[in-house]
């Protein structure tokens, strides 16, 4: 009788250990699963002008303009305050069209977000090293378009889309584009629309798993 009780106790103990290891392994697999990441897209489209300062050597006044920004929502700011965040975007993250001029950034760019009581302000600082062009694009969005979460990671703004209103002076509020080329600086107003969205990044299959599937 005692031997039977001992055998039963050992069986229960072994079963508990095996089940415990199985549950732990499943839990580890869940914990180790890659987190879902998103890519933020911001699109600004409209018309450049009027000329607020400078001589406009590229003759962009009255021409169409567009900026497309791609940024990972997992980015962390390189600098921040209680109301602003500065993000460094990698080469290729921004595409610019201004009249017949088109280029994609070949060097890192800055994206600065300022949250104020009157507007949420998006500022892009871009350079085109090929032509020595420097561009600062300033976009005034509705106040409250972003929550304070944007100071930790980039995210979509709401409502989207929303109308963009041109600045009336070079130093006044409103949307504007400043560019410097050939030693000359020009500031143009900008009127149009701004939109943002986020998409889930695709989950790529494990390389070893893919090789296993092919061979088997």
SS3 label, residue 97:
strand
The pLDDT of residue 50 is above 60: yes
Contact 43, 122 (CB under 8 A): no
Is 85 part of a structural domain of the chain?
Answer: yes
- Beta strand 176-181 with 64-72 is unpaired
Mean pLDDT of the chain: 83
Portion of the chain with pLDDT greater than 90, in percent: 71
Is 53 part of a structural domain of the chain?
Answer: yes
Is 167 part of a structural domain of the chain?
Answer: yes
Using alpha carbons, list the distances in angstroms from residue 151 to 43, 89, 198. Answer: 20, 15, 17
Task: Write the DSSP symbol of residue 107.
Answer: S
Is 143 part of a structural domain of the chain?
Answer: yes
- pLDDT score for 36: 64
Task: Write the DSSP symbol of residue 112.
Answer: E
Contact 174, 165 (CB under 8 A): yes
Domain hosting 133: range is: 38-200
The 10s digit of each residue's pLDDT in 96-125 is 999 998 999 999 999 999 999 999 999 999
What is the number of domains present in the chain? Answer: 1
Is 177 part of a structural domain of the chain?
Answer: yes
Contact 125, 112 (CB under 8 A): yes
Is 80 part of a structural domain of the chain?
Answer: yes
Is 149 part of a structural domain of the chain?
Answer: yes
Number of Cβ within 10 Å of residue 43's Cβ equals 17
Is 6 part of a structural domain of the chain?
Answer: no
């Amino acid at each position: 009788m005692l031997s039977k009780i001992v055998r039963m106790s050992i069986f229960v103990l072994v079963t508990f250990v095996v089940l415990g290891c199985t549950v732990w392994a499943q839990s580890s697999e869940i914990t180790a699963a890659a987190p879902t990441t998103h890519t933020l897209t911001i699109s600004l489209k409209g018309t450049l002008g009027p000329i607020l300062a400078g001589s406009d050597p590229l003759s962009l006044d009255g021409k169409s303009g567009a900026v497309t920004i791609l940024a990972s929502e997992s980015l962390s700011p390189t600098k921040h305050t209680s109301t602003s965040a500065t993000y460094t975007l990698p080469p290729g993250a921004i595409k610019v069209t201004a009249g017949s001029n088109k280029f994609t950034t070949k060097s890192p760019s800055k994206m600065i977000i300022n949250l104020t009581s009157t507007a949420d302000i998006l500022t892009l600082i871009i350079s085109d090293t090929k032509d020595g062009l420097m561009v600062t694009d300033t976009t005034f969005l509705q106040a409250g378009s972003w929550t304070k979460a944007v100071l930790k990671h980039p995210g979509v703004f709401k409502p989207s889309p929303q109308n963009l209103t041109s600045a009336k002076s070079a130093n006044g509020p409103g949307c504007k584009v400043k560019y410097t080329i050939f030693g000359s600086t020009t500031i143009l107003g900008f009127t149009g629309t701004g939109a943002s969205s986020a998409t889930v990044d695709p989950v790529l299959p494990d390389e070893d798993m893919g090789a296993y599937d092919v061979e088997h």
